[in-house]
Homo-oligomer: A and B are copies of this chain.
Amino acid sequence: MKHAEALVEVWRGDLLESVHAGHAVVCDSTGAIVEAWGDPDKIIYPRSSAKMIQGLPLMDSGAADAAGLGTEHLALACASHEGAPEHTERVERWLSDMGMTDADLRCGPEFPRDEETGHAMIRAHGQPCQWHNNCSGKHSGFLTLTRHLRAGPEYVEIDHPVQQAALEAFEDVTGMTSPCYGIDGCAAPNFATSVHGLARAMARFAAAGQGGGVRDASMARLRDAMIAHPSLVAGEGRACTELMQALGGRGALKTGAEGVFVGILPQQGLGLALKIADGATRASECALAAILVRLGVLDPTHPAAIKRINPPIPNRRGMTTGEIRPAAALA
């Protein structure tokens, strides 16, 4: 087992104040590693970076088409959104189109991450609904499949057909048996895999759409929905959204809690996955952007790239005191 490798540095003045180590893999659609840092075999939870995998049974089963879902629905099914009106209004309509309400969700309520929405809620002395939960699109997809399968309402239980279908898809596209699962922040099972397994899955999403059958078509449609609707996948100002916009259609990107990030690069036929060992998002965003620059798909002078690769650390008078930057291994 290899140790985690230093990937991101936090500087203040002339001193390296903090450092983030991690594991990262870039691989092609044969599963061959193109480049790796740390331990490719490190077992991790992908957390929300696996949402496009968890959405595969919704597509494969025909449930999405039977329900008439469009690309906006599919992007939301793969999203960790910030609970802005563009997200919650679509989820609310999706549920009502199925004759369902917020009460059918099993993700739990979450205070919206979108500042304007959050402030409005505080001013109204309001409380968040389950559709404000960043995972409410994924859960609406779970509900769509549940209805299609005429299965029971507790769709987040591990033995529910929806989760068993998610596990089958997960093990198929990662190319390995999942050693265990944990319960995610949204109450759904989150299946573990290796960093390499997660990168393999992303490479398969990258190569999908060449006429390889039902699952292949499902992968291409989810990937393309993410690329078509970057702001639905996260929201204004978020790394996934801004970096996908900067890629200009050349890739789909997805963050996961505890320092995970994945990338799907169809033109290169590459997939990438990374995990910051300590779980820090500031580091996963920096490492992801640095690897995209390294692969030649992200312009390092784009504001969205600079914001993640070399963000200045301001003090409360607005003066720059230091910066976050990729470690030598990613430079």
List the interface of chain A (C-beta within 8 A of B).
10, 12-15, 17-21, 43-45, 106-110, 119, 122-123, 133, 180-187, 190, 192, 258-259, 276-280, 283, 315-319, 321-322
Question: Which of B122, B185, B321 sits near A316, CB closer than 8 Å?
Answer: B185
Since A19-B278, A183-B321 are in contact, a sample of 18 more A-B pairs with Cβ atoms closer than 8 Å, ordered by chain A residue number, is A13-B180, A14-B180, A15-B43, A15-B45, A15-B192, A19-B277, A20-B278, A21-B278, A107-B317, A110-B316, A122-B122, A133-B316, A182-B322, A185-B316, A185-B321, A187-B315, A187-B316, A279-B280
Which one of B43, B109, B278, B319 contacts A280 once the chains associate, using CB atoms below 8 Å? Answer: B278
Known: A18-B259, A278-B20. A13 touches B315 (CB 8 A): no
Closest to A318 in B: B108
Q: A180 to B17, alpha carbons, bound, how many Å?
A: 12
Distance between Cα atoms of A192 and B109 in the complex (Å):
43
What CA separation (Å) do A110 and B259 show in the bound complex? Answer: 27
Which of chain B's residues have a CB closer than 8 A to the CB of A21?
A: 278
Known pairs A108-B316, A108-B317; A15 contacts B180 (CB<8 A) = yes
Contact (A315, B119) CB under 8 Å given A18-B258, A45-B12, A277-B18: no
Residue pair B182, A15 in contact (C-beta under 8 Å):
yes
> Are B315 and A108 neighbours in the complex by a CB distance under 8 Å?
yes
Q: Contact at A106–B317, with CB atoms within 8 Å?
A: yes
CA distance A190 to B317 in the complex (A): 16
Task: Decide: A182 and B17 in contact? CB cutoff 8 A.
Answer: yes
Which residues of the other chain, B, contact A12 by a CB distance below 8 angstroms? 45, 182-183, 190
- Return the chain B residue nearest A3 by Cβ: B3
- Between-chain CB contacts (< 8 Å), 9 pairs: A13-B181, A13-B183, A17-B44, A18-B259, A18-B279, A109-B316, A122-B122, A182-B322, A280-B280
Pairwise interchain contact A183-B10, C-beta atoms closer than 8 A: no
A91 to B258, CA, bound (A): 38
Find the B residue at minimum CB distance from A320: B183
Instruction: Report Cα–Cα, A11/B140, bound state, in Å.
Output: 28
Contact of A278 (CB < 8 Å), options: B18, B192, B316: B18
Contacts of A10 in B (CB 8 A): 258, 279
In Å, the complex CA distance between A119 and B118 comes to 10
Query: CA A67 – CA B195 in complex, angstroms?
Result: 60
Give the Cβ gap from A103 to chain B, nearest Cβ, in Å: 13
Query: Nearest chain-B residue to A321 (Cβ)?
Result: B183
Q: Complex Cα distance A279/B119, Å? A: 29
Given B17, B44, B259, which contacts A45 in the complex, CB threshold below 8 Å? B17
Taken together as a complex, chains A and B put the C-alpha atoms of A61 and B145 apart, in Å, by 73
Q: Assess A187 versus B319: contact at CB under 8 Å? Given A15-B192, A180-B15.
A: yes
Most-contacted residue by chain B among A181, A183, A280 (CB, 10 A): A183
- Complex Cα distance, B109 from A181, in Å, reads 44
Chain B residues whose CB sits within 8 angstroms of the CB of A119 once the complex forms: 122
